[in-house]
Amino acid sequence: MADTPWWRHAVIYQVYVRSFADSDGDGMGDLPGVRSRLGYIADLGVDAIWLNPFYPSPQADAGYDVADYRDVEPTFGTLADFDALVDGAHRLGLRVIVDLVPNHTSDEHPWFRAALAAAPGSAERARYLFREGRGPGCDLPPNDWQSVFGGPAWARVFEPDGSGGQWFLHLFAPEQPDLDWTNDEVRAEFESILRFWLDRGVDGFRIDVAHGLAKDPDMPDIVAGQQTSGPARAGHPHWDRDEVHEVFRQWRRVTDSYDRDVAFVAEAWVETPAQLARYLRPDELHTAFNFEFLLAPWDAAGLRAAIDSSIQALAEVGAPPTWVLSNHDVVRHVTRYGGGDLGLRRARAAALLMLALPGGAYVYQGEELGLPQVIDLPDDVLQDPTFFRTGGVERGRDGCRVPLPWSGEEPPFGFGPSPAPGATVGHPWLPQPAEWAGLTAARQATAPDSMLTLYRQALRLRRSLAEEGAMTGPLEWIDVGSGPIAGDVLAFRRGTGFACVVNLGEEPADTPADLALGARVLLASGDVGDDGRIQGSTAIWYGSDRL
Ligand code: NOJ
């Protein structure tokens, strides 16, 4: 393991900066807040952090609308705070990954302002995707592409005299105009942005919408069956096009020129692991989020298929698989898996499953506390553009972004300083449920059966087993027999000395006969009976010299 690049087996903790820790009491998390809690992250036993965007931004999409790629949004701190955070993380042995948003800028980025001020056909407009409209008076969008957040993917520019002008493409919100990646200036600028952060010491980049940078230059309408959101099929006019790969080859040459292991992580929503693997060819990006695994329902056959196809497809290009259960865009998995006690038990088992698989894994802040999705946020606090652009039909993603509960009995639960009694400012930017008093990190830290304790134990054990050479081998499925209950069981070994068994059903299941006699329980996500059976919704890690 020692000479394997860190990103091939790292557990990366996702820090959603807005909601992690608020150092100055404005209700919004910030970089000094993250720095103050680095000890907690290191104690958890992860290897790296990924910071969601903290750059200057009007926050039309929670920072994924970047107005300046080389600075820090004042609400989140300063560049000096960033440097101190990187330094503090490195001292604790944590690597730092930042979020790169190359598909679009903010509409307040100087480039877009210049584009609006310039004439059609100008060099300023050529950095974005401006086109003439269709129909009489060019009143209709250039094509039928839809924004991922709802509504058309085109917005019209109005000239100072009020007359309608060109249209520009925005696959997300209108405040996020898409860049034209065939433009040399765009390519040169992002190469320079990469170097800016690499020179500040970052260890990697998470690439936002990696599958979206290239568009069909003819901009045709979407053909039947090619939806705009969701995983893209081959031949789509703006998702997962071959031309994106040249961009990543250029970037890989940049990171390879640095004298340390730097990692790119692709956010690429594509339909199959085989499509994903193309982003991870040896001269492109290093790893990618595995949405196949995240989206798989709580079902043994479905999860096994997702695991197998991911491992196989990525092995063909020499890339490690990665595993993820939650992030800031999806419903938290405690809720996705059924919510309540059932969702929690399944989430505990899923954590042991994920952390036993080969390759890397992602932990989204708060999943180690077993936080559920907050489903009853009032309309007037919602900020996600999805909510507004669908006229409220979709509630959006705010429910998985509620600030963390750290300690105490009432909001803000140590997220930031408590606002003065009666104060209208200084409350967390999204309200925390009162019942999160039972889920605070402080309370869970000393509870032997808490989710936090489980994550700490699993992450530490994962690390020490890897150091001992156990849990480093390829995944090999163990025969679980047949029958309705066995059909709910997943069992595998990782080389010699380690095995993981997960019972996804609700009935107790027999321990697979193939599990060597004398295998001892290293860690279990739930109760382990004396009869050797595995309770429902429970995962167990076993160790034995004879496995
Ligand atoms: C993916 C990010 O994870 C999401 O939060 C964002 O809204 C879109 N990309 C657009 O940047």
Contacts of residue 124, defined as CB under 8 A and 6 or more positions apart, other chains included, come to 111, 114, 115, 117, 118
Q: How far is the CA of 381 from the centre of ligand 1 (A)?
A: 19
CB 448 within 8 A of CB 441: no
How confident is the model over 202-217, as a mean pLDDT? Answer: 97
pLDDT band at 496 (very low <50, low <70, confident <90, very high): confident
Task: Give the pLDDT of residue 223.
Answer: 78
Structurally, at CATH architecture level, domain 110-169 sits in Alpha-Beta Complex (3.90)
Q: Where in the chain is the domain with CATH 3.90.400.10?
A: 110-169
Q: Which of 30, 175, 267, 367 is catalytic?
A: 267
Question: Is the model's pLDDT at 369 over the cut of 80?
Answer: yes
Structurally, at CATH architecture level, domain 6-104+184-445 sits in Alpha-Beta Barrel (3.20)
Task: Give the pLDDT of residue 230.
Answer: 56
Strand ranges in 162-291 using DSSP code E only, listed in sequence order: 164-169, 204-207, 263-266, 287-288
267 in active site: yes
Question: What proportion of the chain, given as a percentage, has pLDDT over 90?
Answer: 89
How confident is the model over 281-290, as a mean pLDDT? Answer: 97
Alpha-carbon gap, residue 170 to 112, rounded angstroms: 12
208 in active site: yes
172 lines ligand 1 (CB under 6 A): yes
400 lines ligand 1 (CB under 6 A): no
Contacts of residue 428, defined as CB under 8 A and 6 or more positions apart, other chains included, come to 19, 22, 27, 402, 403, 411, 412, 415, 416
User: What value does the mean pLDDT of the chain take?
Assistant: 95
Question: Is the model's pLDDT at 225 over the cut of 90?
Answer: no
Q: Which of 208, 240, 292, 488 is catalytic?
A: 208
209 lines ligand 1 (CB under 6 A): yes
Instruction: Quote the pTM value.
Output: 0.97
How confident is the model over 496-519, as a mean pLDDT? Answer: 89
pLDDT band at 228 (very low <50, low <70, confident <90, very high): low
How confident is the model over 442-466, as a mean pLDDT? Answer: 97
pLDDT band at 481 (very low <50, low <70, confident <90, very high): confident
Q: How far is the CA of 208 from the centre of ligand 1 (A)?
A: 6
Q: How far is the CA of 505 from the centre of ligand 1 (A)?
A: 34
175 lines ligand 1 (CB under 6 A): no
Q: How far is the CA of 267 from the centre of ligand 1 (A)?
A: 9
Q: Kindly list the distances between the CA atom of residue 244 and the CA atoms of 148, 205, 210, 303, 542, in Å, as whole numbers in the listed order.
A: 19, 17, 8, 29, 43
Task: Give the pLDDT of residue 484.
Answer: 79
**Domain 474-543: what homologous superfamily?**
Golgi alpha-mannosidase II (2.60.40.1180)
Structure tokens at 160: 């100072």
Say if residue 412 is preceded by a cis peptide, omega within 30 of 0. yes
How confident is the model over 78-102, as a mean pLDDT? Answer: 98
Task: Give the pLDDT of residue 529.
Answer: 78
Q: Where in the chain is the domain with CATH 3.20.20.80?
A: 6-104+184-445
Task: Give the pLDDT of residue 339.
Answer: 98
Residues 1-25 have pLDDT tens digits of: 667 999 999 999 999 999 999 999 9
pLDDT band at 229 (very low <50, low <70, confident <90, very high): low
Q: Where in the chain is the domain with CATH 2.60.40.1180?
A: 474-543
